[in-house]
């Protein structure tokens, strides 16, 4: 058995004896060990085997699963560790317990890298300064390169990347830079494993293709259009089975490509994609076939109408010839005028029929275009809704995700139940409509038949007026109360959104702090006094806290705080 590399052995011993917060910086030394130019292929693979055997690769994965903002060096360290992890796994052949490595470790590594990429993408989108945006984009590119390098060395991971929900979350974005990077990742997946799209579930396949077509229809940026077009062309070339899916599921794609993306600098790819879509003959419902059928129908229609005109004119001519042999004899000038009028009438009939046919075809095309537009609008609305939901999930603490999902499921169930009850009540009402009519008719008849004095009628009228006034007053009060509840609910939702979207203390700026500061001097003074009191309590000696061993860390006795916090001020507003 070959000896262990001394550098790996020394690093493993150093990590074992170090503190937890120092481990990420120590793991960065693996980059220098692996990138030694004097190492051959076999020696490099041997070092990777030693790194895995001593658990250093597992350490990298564990560090990436932690909160990256807490690392020393933050996101730069996390991006370098992602690169190191991918290089340690590529070329590694585990012989002892391979199922643990191929079935558990590698998919877990892919998931961790995608999570890191999603967080970097969100930071890049929210960044304001140019320097921050450049840094986050560079780290995002490093992480995506690490993902490509990893599934390039282990081809079976290509389908695993596509099947992961976080890959679709990364692809669904309106940001130009990160969208182009993610489309390049998808292009690498197809280049390495051309059948990867056919190995995933149908819903995932449709989601990926829907997003690519949506990018073509919702943007005018040539870079995004070029990347999406080239990617769709690769999909059609590599996966011949998907050509029919394109022609049936995306009927307006050919018109979109020819009208919106012709003459944008990548006409060769656009023309190739259009040719492949037009040459699709398996379904018998291609656009060229429909156009040919329409032309044939129009030609047959015109031919039949012309034949009918000629036949009618011949019949009229024969009838006039027969009339010429009679004793009366027609006037040739009037016959010629009548024949010209009849010809004009026949041609007008043909023109009207042709105009109706053209109007019908035009209306049919407009209806198809409107249907496609409405479908794209619905997809865009659903996409925005999912983006907002994913953004909210990102800021929710990990321990609260299950609670949040449970609340969403309960709200969805209540909505479904409400619509079902309304539908059932309306159906029951329509079924009982005739019975209600009969009941009302009987009540009217009984009311007309009963005898009532004038005094009783006046008293009944006054009672009805009083009840009506009470009802109107109560309904007005109810409306005011409902408006007040809605206003309070909107205020609470706004405050909760501000709190959930608040950045961490390490990232907070003066502008962010100003949102949560109160404009009231008494309230600010009161908050400052409470803060000073809590600081004093935290600095008490241990002998003053002997009776509080079982008290939670975040609970302070009322005797220690003389100032009571009665309200919470957010952005200058008072919330009770």
pLDDT level of residue 347 (50, 70, 90 thresholds): low
pTM of the model: 0.52
Read off the pLDDT band of 574 (50, 70, 90): very low
56-65 vs 106-126: helix crossing angle, rounded to 10: 40
CB atoms within 10 A of CB 263: 8
pLDDT at 110: 92
What is the average pLDDT value for the chain, to the nearest integer? 77
Average pLDDT over residues 160-164: 89
The answer to which of 118-122, 451-455, 538-542, 551-555 has the lowest mean pLDDT is: 551-555
pLDDT at residue 331 tops 60? no
What is the C-alpha separation between 421 and 141, in angstroms, rounded? 51
Domain ranges (residues) in the chain:
1-200, 205-285, 298-323+335-395, 510-575
DSSP H or E segment with residue 574: strand 573-575
**pLDDT confidence bin for 452, thresholds 50/70/90:** low
Q: Higher model confidence: residue 559 or residue 336? A: 559
Give me the pLDDT at residue 547, please: 60
pLDDT at 553: 46
Residues in the chain: 576
* Interval 234-247: pLDDT, tens: 888 877 777 777 77
Query: 235 with 190: CB under 8 angstroms?
Result: yes
Q: Give the per-residue pLDDT at 327.
A: 42
Confidence of residue 12 (pLDDT cuts 50, 70, 90): confident
Give the model confidence (pLDDT) of 373-398 as tens digits: 777 777 777 777 777 777 766 666 66
pLDDT at 474: 92
Higher pLDDT, residue 366 or 297: 366
Is pLDDT at 142 greater than 90 in this prediction? yes
Predicted pLDDT of residue 181 = 93
Confidence band of 64 (pLDDT split at 50, 70, 90): confident
pLDDT of residue 398: 64
Check residues 161 and 400 and name the one with the higher pLDDT.
161
- Report which of residues 548 and 146 the model is more confident about: 146
Q: For domain 1-200, give its CATH number from 3.40.50, 3.30.300, 1.25.10, 1.10.1740.
A: 1.25.10
pLDDT of residue 235: 86
Structure tokens at 72: 């020393």
Query: Average pLDDT in the 508-529 region?
Result: 76
DSSP, residue by residue, 324-347: HTSSS---HHHHHHHHHHHHHHHH
Q: Tell which wins on pLDDT, 427 or 518.
A: 427
Residues 6+ positions from 192 with CB-CB distance below 8 Å: 151, 152, 155, 158
Residue 203 · residue 249 · CB < 8 Å: no
463: tokens are 């009672």
């Amino acid at each position: 058995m070959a000896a262990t590399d001394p550098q790996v052995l020394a690093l493993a011993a150093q990590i074992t004896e170090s503190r937890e917060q120092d481990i990420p910086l120590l793991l960065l030394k693996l980059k220098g060990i692996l990138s030694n130019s004097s190492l051959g292929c076999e020696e490099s693979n041997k070092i990777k085997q030693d790194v895995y055997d001593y658990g250093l690769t597992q350490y990298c994965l564990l560090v990436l699963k932690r909160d990256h903002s807490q690392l020393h060096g933050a996101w730069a360290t996390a991006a370098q560790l992602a690169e190191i992890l991918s290089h340690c796994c590529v070329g590694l052949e585990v012989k002892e317990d391979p199922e643990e490595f191929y079935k558990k470790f590698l998919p877990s590594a892919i998931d961790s890298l995608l999570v890191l990429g999603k967080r970097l993408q969100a930071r890049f989108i929210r960044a304001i300064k140019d320097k921050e945006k450049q840094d986050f984009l560079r780290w995002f590119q490093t992480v995506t390169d690490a993902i490509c390098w990893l599934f390039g060395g282990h081809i079976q991971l290509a389908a695993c990347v596509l099947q992961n929900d976080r890959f679709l979350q990364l692809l669904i974005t309106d940001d130009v830079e990160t969208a182009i990077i993610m489309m390049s990742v998808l292009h690498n997946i197809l280049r390495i494993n051309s059948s990867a799209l056919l190995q995933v579930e149908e819903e995932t396949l449709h989601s990926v293709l829907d997003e690519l077509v949506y990018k073509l229809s919702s943007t005018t940026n040539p870079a995004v259009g070029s990347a999406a077009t080239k990617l769709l062309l690769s999909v059609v070339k590599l996966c011949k089975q998907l050509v029919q899916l394109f022609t049936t599921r995306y009927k307006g794609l050919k018109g979109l490509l020819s009208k919106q993306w012709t003459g944008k600098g990548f006409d060769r790819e656009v023309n190739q994609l259009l040719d492949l879509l037009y040459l699709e003959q398996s379904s018998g419902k291609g656009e060229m076939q429909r156009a040919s059928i329409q032309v044939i129908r129009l030609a047959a229609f015109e031919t039949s109408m012309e034949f009918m005109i000629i036949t009618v004119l011949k019949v009229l001519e024969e009838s006039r010839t027969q009339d010429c042999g009679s004793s009366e004899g027609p006037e040739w000038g009037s016959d010629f005028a009548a024949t010209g009028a009849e010809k004009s009438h026949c041609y007008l009939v043909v023109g009207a029929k042709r105009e109706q046919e053209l109007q019908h075809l035009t209306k049919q095309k407009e209806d198809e275009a409107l249907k496609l537009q409405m479908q794209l609008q619905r997809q865009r609305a659903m996409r925005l809704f999912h983006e907002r939901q994913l953004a909210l999930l990102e800021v929710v603490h990990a321990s609260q995700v299950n609670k949040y999902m449970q609340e969403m499921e309960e709200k969805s169930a209540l909505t479904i139940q409400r619509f079902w009850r309304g539908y059932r009540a309306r159906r029951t009402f329509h079924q009982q409509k005739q019975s209600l009519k009969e009941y009302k008719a009987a009540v009217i008849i009984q009311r007309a038949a009963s005898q009532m004095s004038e005094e009783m009628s006046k008293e009944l009228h006054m009672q009805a007026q009083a009840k009506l006034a009470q009802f109107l007053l109560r309904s007005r009060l109810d409306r005011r109360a409902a408006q007040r509840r809605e206003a309070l609910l909107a205020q609470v939702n706004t405050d909760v959104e501000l709190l959930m979207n608040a950045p961490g203390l390490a990232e907070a700026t003066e502008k962010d702090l100003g949102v949560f500061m109160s404009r009231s001097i008494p309230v600010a003074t009161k908050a400052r006094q409470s803060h000073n009191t809590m600081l004093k309590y935290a600095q008490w000696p241990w002998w003053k806290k002997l009776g509080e061993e079982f008290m939670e860390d975040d609970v302070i006795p009322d005797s220690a705080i003389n100032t009571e916090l009665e309200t919470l001020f957010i952005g200058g507003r008072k919330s009770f």
